[in-house]
Structure 1
């Protein structure tokens, strides 16, 4: 006789089949879908999203959950499932379908608006998505402000007030650190040998590096898109995307290492728990810790390039005469950039602080959608001392608002803090440190598999960091890392 937990697992698998089907056509939309296919794709995604929502909020699901709770089976898993179920049942299927359609059309509108640097053409879509975000926040409920409800959907137990306090404390330290790092780089003025760096050669080199980190190409692949991302289409199907710049191969490489970090996390989750909290990522802040750890703490380190610069020179002959020290000065180059995804470590978090402030104002109604470009440019001038030349280099550069991702951005900085704390704890182990020193990362990945990936989403983000590092989540390891690498 099947138990209530068995029935729950079966229903979760059915929902996962539907959700992953939506993920497949969502991936196709971002990579290969012809322009004329977007309207129908929006209808497909709306139907699949509503169907998955219906399955996960059914009375049968609720009954099985209550019965399993009464039997006291797997209490930690059931607590996570109860939280997800209660949250999901507050949203009607019609709203879920409406959001899926709005985001599908919104992403297409954003891509076109970004090409033309024309925020006004995207503004009506943002108005719709903002209204949906407010409706979701009201239905979920919140204690402080509406932004809390959206933030909690990405980072469990995080609050706007807590993030604001953290960012207010970080802002002056980050501004000073960034300014010092930029001045140091100006004095050195490191340059990369002129291109071209052919795309085919970049693809081959990127694949070698991703495989060396542990990314399993039998369970994934790398494709090209406008805005790089990693997506999970099934327990053995985790895909990366990137974009290429033939004048600088490191742009795509670090993007692939970043997305490979996400991919390693997804490939390391318990595959037989796919569709359950125990088989899902804990939060975006934990997810981002994995991508930033591999991109920055590994990919921008001296030991990594001591091994990989000669290999890069085999793919890009102009690198053959470059000294490692000169190349590392380029890798550690700091300069203010209009584009977040191209920002270096010392200046990156300032981009997140800007977006967090604007999102809170948008959601509260303090900032009107039509005034976003002006508000963006004013905030950018305040933080970076320069004004974006157009919307494409300003408020249109990120895909997140078009995909309904209000509340997402703060998790990037949380990920940076978590990455530094996890890397410091991992490399305190002499065997892991020895592997890192030789650019051999199997011991590091094994540690992350045990301390982070295997936990799924049953534990809170703070609990995962606390158990893995023996310390409360903190910004100190991140600030120490930035100071040591870019200023010290």
Structure 2
């Protein structure tokens, strides 16, 4: 006779079938769906989201969960499942479906609005998605502010007040460090040779690099989209995307390394636990730690390019005469820029501080949607000393609000902090440090598999970092890393 936990696992697998089917058509929407297919796709996603939600809040699920809890079997897993169940049961199925449809239509509206730099055309969609986010927050409940309920979706245990305290402490240190890094880069004036860097050559090179890091192409692939992302369509089906610039091969390359970091995490989660907390990522802050670790601590390092610059020159002949020191000066070039996803490490976190402040005000009703462009430009001027020339390079550049991702942005900086702390702990092991020095990364990946990936979402993000590094989560490793790279 099956136990209650066995029944839970079976129901979780059934729900995972529905959610992974939604992920497949969501991936298709971002890559290959023809323009006239978006309206029906929104209805499909809404229907599937509601069906998956109904499965996860069913009486049978609740009964099996309660019975398993009484048997005291796998208490950590069941505690995570209880949390997810209690949150899910507070959301009406109609609201879940409405959000899926609104986000599907919102993403398409954002793509068109960004092309035309036309915030007004996207504004009704943002109004709708903001309203839905507030509804969800009220359903979940919160102690201090609605933003806390949204943030907890992405980073368990985090609060807006704690994030604000952290960011306010980081703000002056990051601004000073960024200004000094930019000043040094201006003096060096390092640049890579101009294009063209043919897209086919970029695709070939990017694939070699991703495979060398450990990304399994028998369980994944790379496609093209307007906003790079990684998505998991099944326990061994992980899709990466990037976008290409024929004048700069590093734009797609670092995008691929970043998304491959996400993909390595997904490929390292226990496949037999797919659909359960034990087979899911712990949080977006932990997820982002993996992408930023591989992109920045590995992909922008000297040992990496000692190995890969000659290979890059085989694909892009204009690099053949470039000295490694000059190449690295260009890779480590710091500059204040309008676009977050193209920002260097020294200035990147300032973009996140800006977005956190704006969306917290939006959720609280202190900032009207119609005033977002002006508020964005004002905040950008304060942090960066310049004003975006248009909305495409300002408030329309990110996809997150169009998919209802309010509360998402702080996890990027949390990811940077976690990445530095995890990398420092891993490379304290001499064998891992020796591998990194030779651009051989299987020991590093094995350490991450053991200390991060295998944990799933049963532990909290803070517990994972604390257990892996022996220290409480802290910004100090990240700040020290930036100072070594940009100011030493």
Into which bin does the TM-score normalised by the smaller protein fall?
over 0.9
C-alpha distance in structure 1 between counterparts of 2:109 and 2:430, whole Å: 51
C-alpha distance in structure 2 between counterparts of 1:52 and 1:486, whole Å: 47
C-alpha distance in structure 2 between counterparts of 1:72 and 1:175, whole Å: 50
Return the TM-score normalized by structure 1.
1.00
Residue 399 (structure 1) aligned with residue 404 (structure 2): no
Return the TM-score normalized by structure 2.
1.00
1:335-362 deviation line (CA, Å, top 9, x unaligned):
0010000000000000000000000110
* Offset of residue 427 of structure 1: 0.2
C-alpha distance in structure 1 between counterparts of 2:336 and 2:58, whole Å: 50
The 3-state SS of whatever aligns with 1:222 is strand
Residue 380 (structure 1) aligned with residue 412 (structure 2): no
* Offset of residue 124 of structure 1: 0.3
* Offset of residue 129 of structure 1: 0.2
* Offset of residue 409 of structure 1: 0.1
C-alpha distance in structure 1 between counterparts of 2:241 and 2:416, whole Å: 21
Gaps of 5+ in 1: none
The 3-state SS of whatever aligns with 1:238 is strand
The 3-state SS of whatever aligns with 1:397 is coil
1:422-445 deviation line (CA, Å, top 9, x unaligned):
000000000000000000000000
Map 1:61-460 onto structure 2 (within 5 A).
61-460=61-460
2:18 matched residue in structure 1: 18
C-alpha distance in structure 2 between counterparts of 1:144 and 1:163, whole Å: 13
Residue 37 (structure 1) aligned with residue 40 (structure 2): no
1:6 matched residue in structure 2: 6
The 3-state SS of whatever aligns with 2:233 is strand
C-alpha distance in structure 2 between counterparts of 1:277 and 1:366, whole Å: 35
1:139-181 deviation line (CA, Å, top 9, x unaligned):
1011110000000000000000000000000000000000000
1:1-39 deviation line (CA, Å, top 9, x unaligned):
000000000000000000000000000000000000000
C-alpha distance in structure 1 between counterparts of 2:318 and 2:108, whole Å: 38
C-alpha distance in structure 1 between counterparts of 2:487 and 2:198, whole Å: 33
1:184-230 deviation line (CA, Å, top 9, x unaligned):
00000001101100000000000000000000000000000000000
C-alpha distance in structure 2 between counterparts of 1:351 and 1:142, whole Å: 27
1:37-94 deviation line (CA, Å, top 9, x unaligned):
0000000000000000000000000000000000001000000000000000000100
Gaps of 5+ in 2: none
* Offset of residue 103 of structure 1: 0.2
C-alpha distance in structure 2 between counterparts of 1:90 and 1:346, whole Å: 41
* Offset of residue 327 of structure 1: 0.1
The 3-state SS of whatever aligns with 2:361 is helix
Runs ≥4 residues deviating over 4 A: none
Residue 486 (structure 1) aligned with residue 486 (structure 2): yes
C-alpha distance in structure 2 between counterparts of 1:139 and 1:194, whole Å: 53
C-alpha distance in structure 1 between counterparts of 2:236 and 2:419, whole Å: 25
1:470 matched residue in structure 2: 470
Aligned-residue CA RMSD (Å): 0.3
Equivalent residue pairs, number: 488
